[in-house]
Amino acid sequence: MAYTVKQLADLAHVSRRTLHYYDEIGLLEPQQIAPNGYRYYSEAAIYQLQQILFFKELGFSLEQIQRILSHPGFDLLGALEKQRRGLLSRRERLERLILTVERTIMNLKGELPMTENGFFEGFDPEQQQEYEQDAVERWGETASESIQLWNAYGKEKQAAILAEGGAIYRDLIALMPAGPHSEPAQVAVARWHQHLRYFYEPTVEIMLSLAEVYSDDPRFRATFDKMHPDLAGFMQKAIQFYCERLKTD
């Protein structure tokens, strides 16, 4: 069965523009292009698009996904089994955190007493190490080098870098009424782009993936929500627009 761009986009709940972009970068190419320019995808594209979306959900960049799917030894069944394990592990961790939040709410309402340890159920003692390992799995050598670079900074410089990042996020919050596509907001995103260089050289693909992670990953989302409940979504739109402009420059 052949699928048009619209049919495949509707089926996967993605935009047609997304499929066109995947075609442009060679990530998901149509089986044939008709003389009138219409793209037609085969049934195999459904499996490939599903893999792309699964890997994106797990935090992989499009560049990483392309390398994985184009590898001669790629095994679809094996990939699905690994993704299932990763998603189940994430679900279990989130369920523990949700339970802790619910118990804390009940405690504040006077409905349930909690021990001191109960406030931190779901937060492993080695949580930071887990985050670092997760980053290495997401970003490969980039994350590993970033961790080494950060650890090499002295405490004073680390504090200054964090303060600079906090100032950028506060400025972005102040610029929300102007909109994510406004020039002041884009200038602030350019400062954020430069700030990332304290950690690694941020490519357009990395920044686009970060935009999705900020909005979709519960851990990152919680951090931004503490600053402003709309910051993650605003950042996602502002970064995406910023990256689109970089591509056309």
pLDDT value of position 123: 43
Six token digits for residue 88:
């189940």
Rounded distance, CA 80 to CA 66, Å? 16
CATH 1.10.490.50 fits 154-248, yes or no: yes
Domain positions in the chain are 3-70, 75-123, 154-248
Q: How far apart are CA 208 and CA 67, in angstroms?
A: 17
Residue environment code for 27-62, b if the CB has 16+ CB neighbours within 10 A, otherwise e? bbebeeeeeeeebbbeeebeebbebbebbbebbbbb
CB 207 within 8 A of CB 201: no
Only one residue has tokens 């599903």, namely 50
d(CA 162, CA 177): 25
Q: CA quadruple 198, 201, 203, 205: dihedral positive or negative?
A: negative
- Yes or no: is domain 3-70 CATH 1.10.3720.10? no
pLDDT at residue 132 in the model: 42
What is residue 103's predicted lDDT score, i.e. its pLDDT? 66
Is residue 3 within a helix (H) or strand (E), and if so which, with residue range? strand 3-4
Same CATH topology for 3-70 and 154-248: the answer is no
pLDDT tens digits in sequence order for the chain, 249 residues long: 788 999 999 989 899 999 999 999 999 999 888 888 888 999 889 989 998 998 887 777 888 888 888 888 888 888 888 778 877 777 776 777 677 677 667 766 665 555 544 444 444 434 444 444 454 455 555 555 666 777 788 888 888 888 888 889 899 999 999 999 999 999 999 999 998 888 778 888 888 888 887 778 777 777 778 888 898 899 999 999 999 998 876
Say what the pTM is: 0.47
